[in-house]
Copies of this chain bind each other. A is one copy, B any other.
Amino acid sequence: MNTQADFARWMSAVQQRTETALGAGLPPASQPPARLHEAMRYAVLGGGKRVRPLLVHAAGHLVEADAERLDRIACAVELIHVYSLVHDDMPCMDDDVLRRGKPTVHVEYDEATALLVGDALQTHAFELLAQGTLAATPAAQLGMVALLASASGSHGMAGGQAIDLAAVGRQLSRAELEFMHIRKTGALIRAAILLGARAGNPLPEANHERLDHYGKQVGLLFQVVDDILDAEADTATLGKTAGKDADHDKPTYVSLLGLGEARAYAEELLADALSTLAPLGPRALYLKALAEFIVRRSF
């Protein structure tokens, strides 16, 4: 990749094909139960930078994976992400009214519908991943289902949210904060990368480990930048209610380290992620560019 413009074009193309794949992969709003299907589509379509789908495609590019396989994997990962947002926004959790610039699902519909939307999106993610051919063998594809489940469950994303809940009003140590974020945001980001990498040519074990380390660093990076943006941004730019974390007295990298040190930590994570990728060769270009993009983003 020679220019920023090439990366921007690739990113836009992946975002567009992800939107198309999500639209085609979700049940049409015309099918009963229509209101549930409409709300599922409302929650998923027309918003978000699709960071996880981008990571799936970037890792898939490394192993020359079929693009349609990657679309399906990207949809599965994104549906898990969106289900977690829908539930996280509910009054009993973060009680957020705005998401991706639109009213949250429980505001636009109602709480019971938001609950079912999240539930059904999670189920749909596993359904997508279990259908069709996404890996060299059915056994490998079964392993992909297990990987996504493990990243999403009580030892992964849902567990991270539970730790986050328990942390409100407490001051966490840096180790505790890291423990939480490696699960809450990091696990699904890592899974996105590893799933994309399993969809194509087999990767030597050493490179698989590098990719996993890259994923871990990028997951943390994403969260550190999120905390920085949340501390800085105003609601209009972010498309969600800003300053919520501070309002809720939630521990963040900024509250723990201060803004300057949080920024330095982000640069450190980026440098580590990029050097980890170095031995993977030129096909890692989109993974590199994405790590940089995550640091420079303003969303």
List A residues 34-78 near B (Cβ within 8 Å).
Answer: 35-37, 40
CA distance A93 to B166 in the complex (A): 24
CB-contact partner of A162 in B36, B84, B137, under 8 A: B36
The answer to whether A116 and B166 touch across the interface, beta carbons within 8 angstroms, is: no
Q: Does A281 have its Cβ within 8 Å of any Cβ on chain B?
A: no
The answer to whether A165 and B112 touch across the interface, beta carbons within 8 angstroms, is: yes
CB-contact partner of A142 in B87, B123, B142, under 8 A: B142
Q: Does A152 have its Cβ within 8 Å of any Cβ on chain B?
A: yes
The answer to whether A92 and B119 touch across the interface, beta carbons within 8 angstroms, is: no
Interface centre among A111, A122, A127, A143 (most CB of B within 10 A): A127
Q: Does A124 have its Cβ within 8 Å of any Cβ on chain B?
A: yes
CA distance A36 to B183 in the complex (A): 14
CA distance A163 to B111 in the complex (A): 15
A296–chain B nearest beta-carbon distance, Å: 32
Q: Does A276 have its Cβ within 8 Å of any Cβ on chain B?
A: no
Q: Does A98 have its Cβ within 8 Å of any Cβ on chain B?
A: no
A37 — nearest CB in chain B belongs to which residue? Answer: B154
The answer to whether B166 and A35 touch across the interface, beta carbons within 8 angstroms, is: yes
Q: Does A185 have its Cβ within 8 Å of any Cβ on chain B?
A: no
The answer to whether B127 and A158 touch across the interface, beta carbons within 8 angstroms, is: no
Q: Does A145 have its Cβ within 8 Å of any Cβ on chain B?
A: yes
The answer to whether B116 and A161 touch across the interface, beta carbons within 8 angstroms, is: yes
CA distance A110 to B137 in the complex (A): 43
CB-contact partner of A141 in B40, B112, B142, under 8 A: B142
The answer to whether A153 and B87 touch across the interface, beta carbons within 8 angstroms, is: no
Given contacts A111-B92, A130-B149, A154-B123, contact A159 B87 (CB under 8 A): no
Question: A31 to chain B: which residues have CB within 8 Å?
Answer: 155
The answer to whether B153 and A142 touch across the interface, beta carbons within 8 angstroms, is: no
Question: A138 to chain B: which residues have CB within 8 Å?
Answer: 137-139, 141-142
The answer to whether B124 and A154 touch across the interface, beta carbons within 8 angstroms, is: yes
The answer to whether A93 and B112 touch across the interface, beta carbons within 8 angstroms, is: yes
Q: Does A255 have its Cβ within 8 Å of any Cβ on chain B?
A: no
The answer to whether B149 and A113 touch across the interface, beta carbons within 8 angstroms, is: no
List A residues 107-163 near B (Cβ within 8 Å).
Answer: 110-113, 115-116, 118-120, 122-124, 126-127, 129-131, 137-139, 141-143, 145-146, 149-150, 152-155, 158-159, 161-163
